[in-house]
Amino acid sequence: MNGDAALLLLADSRLPAGGHAHSGGVEEAVRLGTVTGSGDLARFLRGRLATVGLVTAALAAAACELAAADALPEPWRWLDAEADARTASPAQREAARTQGRLLLRTTRRIWPSAAVDALARAVPEGPHHPVALGAAAAAAGCDPRRAALAAAHASVTGPATAAVRLLGLDPVTVHRLLADLAPALDDTARAACAALAADCAIDGEPDECGEDHPDGRHAAWRARWRALPAHGAPALDLLAEGHLTNPMKLFVS
């Protein structure tokens, strides 16, 4: 499949992967009065893209690169652990794994591949969503930049769509906010791919990066992930934890 066409399919909100059930923190922000209109939403989306969006884009790019080169389970466990370490909120981790599990199940039916099967075996409880997204992107024919762009896009379109439902905002106005973010989305995807440091070549040579593991090829993956961003978003973590205990809600996260 052409990579550009695959990107459109991955980014389509109609892809049956459960994304419509997640508000990305907007529902709790609306409940607390932090987001009350389009101006607040614009700031929320820009902040989310600069933190969660960049981190998930980098993880998706790393997963796409891994899926294209290695179908063994162990590196997938390591990469999923990188995602886990970058998700401080237990509620966020649970939501990310739920989304990842649903996306992986969909991917195995639409774009079956050995790497996707390896990921499913490696993380049976469900991988983090950006890891699953990167694997899906590779299976569909996308490169890491497109995988990063799909993750960055999802980090803002989900909350934006949720805000339309929660606040009754004009969909055209909200889509204009997303259009204004287009250059930032491209920048985020580029930064995400640049974060994949080439400290060690993925050639199986047991150089200094393989000292802690008999398989230098696997240790080299860890070396490439050293520079992945870990931008924190404490406000989003607090929103996720608050949302978890709210009995009246439209979205699961």
Question: Is residue 19 situated within a structural domain?
Answer: yes
For residue 49, what are the domain limits? 3-196
Query: Which pLDDT score, from 0 to 100, does residue 209 have?
Result: 41
Across the range 126-136, mean pLDDT stands at: 97
pTM of the model: 0.92
C-beta contacts of 167-175 below 8 A and 24+ residues apart: 167/30, 167/35, 167/36, 167/37, 167/41, 169/37, 169/38, 169/41, 170/38, 173/38, 174/38, 174/41
Question: Is residue 103 situated within a structural domain?
Answer: yes
Question: Is residue 174 situated within a structural domain?
Answer: yes
Let me know: does 193 contact 211? Beta carbons within 8 Å. no
Write the CATH number for 141: 1.10.4190.10
pLDDT at 212 over 50: no
Among 252, 246, 245, smallest CA distance to 18 is for 252
Question: Is residue 91 situated within a structural domain?
Answer: yes
Question: Is residue 140 situated within a structural domain?
Answer: yes
- SS3 (DSSP) at 196: coil
Query: Which pLDDT score, from 0 to 100, does residue 215 have?
Result: 55
Question: Is residue 56 situated within a structural domain?
Answer: yes
Question: Is residue 237 situated within a structural domain?
Answer: no
Across the range 24-39, mean pLDDT stands at: 96
Question: Is residue 64 situated within a structural domain?
Answer: yes
Chain mean pLDDT for the chain? 90
Rg (CA), the chain: 18
Let me know: does 160 contact 181? Beta carbons within 8 Å. no
Over the stretch 150-164, which tens digit does the pLDDT of each residue have? 999 999 999 999 999
**Rounded to whole angstroms, how far apart are CA atoms 39 and 29?**
13
Query: Which pLDDT score, from 0 to 100, does residue 219 have?
Result: 78
Token couple for 119: 């990921």
- Counting the structural domains of the chain, the total is 1
